[in-house]
Structure 1
C-alpha cells in the first residue's frame, strides 16, 4: 500500500522534522532534487519555466530550478511573491549562481513565450481553497503555456484542495504531479484527479512522524493470493447468506449471489420473502433459496452460516428494520447495503453499536448522509471526513462508493481508484456487496475484504468496459469478467 497524507499530516511531519534536526533548507533542497529528477525522466527537451509562490511550495520550485540549471537546462523562474527568510534567500542566491539569472516577478502582461516544461510551484498543501489575484493570473498563464508545453505540478496542482479534491474552475491542469512526502487525497479524489494527470510520489523525510490514522492507496500488490489447495471442499470457503430481493427489485439479490459465488464463497443462500423466494426457486442455479416469513425466522436460517449480506433489493417494507436487527444479533461478519442502510437511517442507526459481529457498511453518498443525519453536500464536498466520521461513530468498517472508493476502519483509511464510467449504473453496488460478501464468508478481515472487493470489482468493471463499452455494459457484465480480475492471483 502507498502512503496518503492529508495537509494536516504534512504540516505536523514537517514541523517535527525541522524541530528535531533544524534542517529546513536541506529538506527543501531534497524536495527540489526529487522534482528535478521527475522532470528529467518525463521530458526530452531541456527548457523549463517555473512559477513559484512565496511559501514552501515555491521554495521547492526554486530548488528544482537550481538543480536543473546545474544539469545544463535553460530555466526561468517567476515569483508571484518573493518569499521571506534566510532559507528562501539562500535558494534565490543558489539559483542565480547556477543559472546566471535572477528570480523575476510575474510580468504585468501575458507575454511569456512557450517552454517545453511549465512548472506549477505556486501553492501547496497548506493553502486554503480558492484562487484570486496574482495566483489566479499565474494559474491562467500556466494553463495557456500548457497548450504547447508539458505542465508539472509540485505536490498538487494549484487550485485543487489537498484533502478533498475540490477544484477551482481555473485550477492548473497538470500532465504530471510530483507529490512530496506521499500521495495527497486531492490528487486521488475527483475532480482533483482529473487535474493531476500522472502522479508520482516521493518520500522527502526518511523517517517521518506518522499520523495516528494512517491512509493508504490500495494497489495491485495488496491483494492476497487466491490460490486454493487441491485438497479442499466447499466448507473451507464459507457459507454466505444474502438477505435481499423483493418482487419490485428481484435482480439485486441475484446479482449479489452470482458475484459472491464467483468470489469464492463455498455456498450462497438467498433469504427472501416467501413470494420472491418462489420466483428465485425457478431462476437460481448454484445458490440455495430459503423463505423468510417473519423476522423471528432469521436465527434458524442463519445457523451454520459464516457471513451475512443484508439489503440488496430488500425493499422498504415495515419489517425490514426488524430483519436487519435480527441479522445484527447473529454474531457473524455482516455487510449492510442499500435498503438495509435506508432502514437503519429511518429506524435509528444507533442499533449498529449493539451488533455482535464485525460490520461493513457500503453506502453511496446519499445513504451516508442519511446515516450521519447531515446534508448530502457535506458528504460530497469532503468524502474523506464523512467516511471517517461514520467509521468512528458506528465502530465498524465503512465503504463509501464513488469514482474513488474510500474504506475507513478503526485506525486506517484505504483508497481504491479502480473502476470505470460504465459501472455508474443501478446494480453495480449489488455486485460489490456480493464480492465483499464472498471474501467475508471465507474469513477475510472486514476492512481488507471491503478494499480488495472494491479493487477487484473495479478491475472486472474495466474489463467489461473494454469488451462492451461504457454505454452498453451492465452490472452483470462486471460479474462475467470477475475471473479476469482474479486469475492473476491464483497462480
Structure 2
C-alpha cells in the first residue's frame, strides 16, 4: 500500500521534522532534487520554465530549477510573489549562481514564449481552495503554455484541493504531478485526478511523524494470494447468505449471488420473501434459495452461515427494517447495502452500534448522506471526511462508492482507484456486495475484504469495458470477467 497524506498531516510532519533537526533548507533542497529527477526522467528536451509562489511549494520549485540549471538545462523562474526569509533568499542566490539568471516577477502581459517543460510550483497543500489575482493569472499562463509543452505540478496542481479533489475552473492541468511526502487525496479523488495526470510520489522526510489515522492507496500487490489447496472442500470457503430480492427488483440479488460464487464462497443461499423465492427456485442454478416468511425466521435460516449480505433488491416494505435488525443480531460478518441501508436511515442507524458481529456498509453518496443525516452536497464535496465520520460514528468499515472507492475502518482509510465509466449502471453495486460477501464468507478481515473486493471488481469492470465498451457493457459482464481479475493471484 502507498501512503496518502492530507494537508494537515503534511503540516504536522514538516513542523515536527524542522523542530527536531532545524533542517528546513535541507528539506527544500531534497524536494527540489526529487522534482528535478522526475522532470529529467519524463522530458527529452532541456528547456523549462518555472512559476513559483511565495511559500514552500515555490521554494521547492526554485530548488528544482537550480538543480536542472546545474545539469545544463536552460531554465527561467517567474515568482508570483517573492518569498521571505533566509532559506528562500539562499535558494534565490543558488539559482542565480547556477543559471546566471535572476528570479523574475510575473510579467504584466502574457508574452512568455513556449518551453518544453512548464512547472507549476505556485501553491502547495496548505493553500485554501480557490484562485484569484496573480495566482489565477499564472495558472492561466501555465495552461496556455501547456498546449505546446509538458506541464509538471509540484505536489498538486494549483487550483486543486489537496484533501477533497475539488478543482477550480482554471486549475492547472498537469501532465505529471510530483507528490512530495506521499500521495495527496486530491490527486486520487475526482475531479482532481483529471488535473493531476500521471502521479509520482516520493518521501522527502526519511522518518516522518505519522498521523494517528493512516491512509493508503490500495494497489495490485496488496491483494492476497487466492491459490487453493488441492485437498479442500466447499466448507473451507464459507457459507454466505444473501438477504435480498423482491418482485420489483429480482435481478439485484441474482447478480450478488453470482458474484459471490465467482469470488470463492463455498455456498451461497438466497433469502427472499416467499413469492420471490418461488421465482428464484426456477432461475438459480448454483445458489440455494430459502423463503423468509417473517423476520423471526432469520435465526434458523442463518444457522451455519459464515457471512451475511443484506440489501440487494430487498425493497422498502414495512418489514425490511425488522429483517435487517434480525440480521445484525446474528453475530457474523455482515455487509449492508442498498435497501438495507435505506431501511436503517428510515428506522434509525443507531441500531448498527448493537450489532453482534463485524459490519461493512457500502453506501453511495446519497445513501451515506441519509445515514449521516446531512446534505448530499456535504458528502460530495468532502467524501473523505464523510466516510471517516461514518466509520467512527457507527464503529464499522464503511465503503463509499464512487469513481474512486474509499474504505474507512477504525484506524485507517484505503483508496481504490480501479474501475471504469461502464460500471456507472444500476447493478454494479450488487456485484460489489457479492464480491465482498464472498471474501467475508471465507474469513477475510472486513476492511481488507471491502478494499480487495472494490479493487478486483474494478479490474473486472475494466476487462468488461475492453471487451464490450463502456456503453454496451452491463453489470453481468463485470461478473463474467471476474476470472480475469482473480487469475493472477491463483498461481
**Alignment TM-score, normalising by the size of structure 1:** 1.00
Deviations 1:363-403 (A, max 9, x none): 00000000000000000000000000000000000000000
Q: Which residue of 2 aligns with 1:472?
A: 472
SS, match of residue 174 in structure 2: coil
Counterparts of 1:113 and 1:125, CA distance in 2: 29
Counterparts of 1:401 and 1:474, CA distance in 2: 17
State the shift of 1:93 in Å: 0.1
State the shift of 1:171 in Å: 0.0
State the shift of 1:333 in Å: 0.0
State the shift of 1:175 in Å: 0.0
State the shift of 1:417 in Å: 0.1
Counterparts of 1:285 and 1:213, CA distance in 2: 44
Deviations 1:209-258 (A, max 9, x none): 00000000000000000000000000000000000000000000000000
State the shift of 1:446 in Å: 0.0
State the shift of 1:405 in Å: 0.0
Counterparts of 2:55 and 2:139, CA distance in 1: 16
State the shift of 1:319 in Å: 0.1
Deviations 1:146-184 (A, max 9, x none): 000000000000000000000000000000000000000
State the shift of 1:464 in Å: 0.1
Counterparts of 2:214 and 2:369, CA distance in 1: 24
Segments ≥4 residues shifted beyond 6 Å: none
State the shift of 1:329 in Å: 0.1
Deviations 1:296-335 (A, max 9, x none): 0000000000000000000000000000000000000000
State the shift of 1:413 in Å: 0.0
Q: Which residue of 2 aligns with 1:72?
A: 72
State the shift of 1:280 in Å: 0.1
Counterparts of 1:84 and 1:401, CA distance in 2: 44
Unaligned residue ranges in structure 2 (runs of 5+): none
**Alignment TM-score, normalising by the size of structure 2:** 1.00
SS, match of residue 283 in structure 2: coil
State the shift of 1:291 in Å: 0.0
Counterparts of 2:282 and 2:472, CA distance in 1: 27
1:117-156 to 2 correspondences below 5 Å: 117-156=117-156
User: Would you say 1:483 and 2:483 are equivalent positions?
Assistant: yes
State the shift of 1:127 in Å: 0.2
Counterparts of 1:219 and 1:343, CA distance in 2: 33
State the shift of 1:83 in Å: 0.1
Q: Which residue of 2 aligns with 1:200?
A: 200
SS, match of residue 282 in structure 1: helix
Root-mean-square deviation over aligned CA pairs: 0.1
Deviations 1:425-482 (A, max 9, x none): 0000000000000000000000000000000000000000000000000000000000
Deviations 1:346-367 (A, max 9, x none): 0000000000000000000000
Alignment size in residue pairs: 491
State the shift of 1:97 in Å: 0.1
State the shift of 1:79 in Å: 0.0
State the shift of 1:133 in Å: 0.1
State the shift of 1:32 in Å: 0.0
Counterparts of 1:485 and 1:304, CA distance in 2: 29
Q: Which residue of 2 aligns with 1:327?
A: 327
State the shift of 1:57 in Å: 0.1
Counterparts of 1:140 and 1:473, CA distance in 2: 38
State the shift of 1:86 in Å: 0.1
State the shift of 1:415 in Å: 0.1
Deviations 1:262-288 (A, max 9, x none): 000000000000000000000000000
Counterparts of 1:45 and 1:286, CA distance in 2: 59
Counterparts of 2:401 and 2:271, CA distance in 1: 25
State the shift of 1:195 in Å: 0.0
Counterparts of 1:292 and 1:144, CA distance in 2: 63
User: Would you say 1:368 and 2:368 are equivalent positions?
Assistant: yes
SS, match of residue 246 in structure 1: coil
SS, match of residue 406 in structure 2: strand
1:451-470 to 2 correspondences below 5 Å: 451-470=451-470
Counterparts of 2:212 and 2:285, CA distance in 1: 47
State the shift of 1:104 in Å: 0.0
User: Would you say 1:32 and 2:32 are equivalent positions?
Assistant: yes
Counterparts of 1:207 and 1:286, CA distance in 2: 52
